[in-house]
Amino acid sequence: MCGRLAVTLPDDAMAQLFDAQPGNDLPEVPNHNVCPTTRVHVIWNQGANRRLGAMRWGFIPYWYKAANDGPLLINARAETIADKPAFKAACRTRRCLIPASGFYEWTKDAEGGRDPWYIHARDQSTLAFAGIWQDWTLAGETTRSCAIVTTGANAAISQIHHRMPVIIAPQDWALWLGEQGKGAATLMRAAPEQALGFYRVDRTVNSNRATGADLIKPLSC
């Protein structure tokens, strides 16, 4: 599961990092509380070039009669992505990278309260989540949407949640984007335990309306 992100890298730095041509419709950054159905930064391959643009976070299958015509598909399970009717074409030909500074997961306390955790790269680098995308058209208007690919969590992250995003290492970006032939399926695995760090943050982030850099500050005990 991955249901909330933080993105703090400026657009020009993001374009340079991924060697991508930026669009003019990019979401505002920094955003420490990126939520499903909003627009997210996405890198995909367009011909011989990489593009950096915005897509709706929430994959819309082509048969949906409305964007909310079925389940909200923000994640696609690596174990079944090649077989699911909603995802199987996209995982072959429409793979993308979804950059983030970190993401949130939740545990429950003894009273059932939801305690948020912020998960990030230990070296503070930008994470690149494996994603898939799809164009969906209704009444002549096209929405480009995406989902984050998830897999079973590594031992460290499983203390918080049993699933985690598939994180693509820089040396594998080209393979995931389809620039280096076949073999992308081998990348759909959990990141090494030592790659990620995590800490508790304030419950303020439990609201999808919360904003600001304080959302990713370590909780003071």
Active site residues: 2, 105
Q: What is the C-alpha to C-alpha distance for residues 101 and 95, in angstroms, rounded to an integer?
A: 20
- Nearest in space to 67 (alpha carbons), one of 91, 43, 89, 38: 38
Contact (Cβ atoms closer than 8 angstroms) between residue 117 and residue 160: yes
In the chain, the amino acid numbered 46 is Q
Contact (Cβ atoms closer than 8 angstroms) between residue 22 and residue 50: no
User: Residue 94: what are its φ and ψ, rounded to 5°?
Assistant: -135, 65
Which tokens hold the place of 169? 């290492």
CA neighbours within 13 Å on the CB side: how many for 218?
6
CA neighbours within 13 Å on the CB side: how many for 102?
25
Residue 118: beta bridge partners?
A: 104, 199
Which tokens hold the place of 180? 């280096």
Provide DSSP, 153-173: --TTGGGT-SEEE-B--GGGH
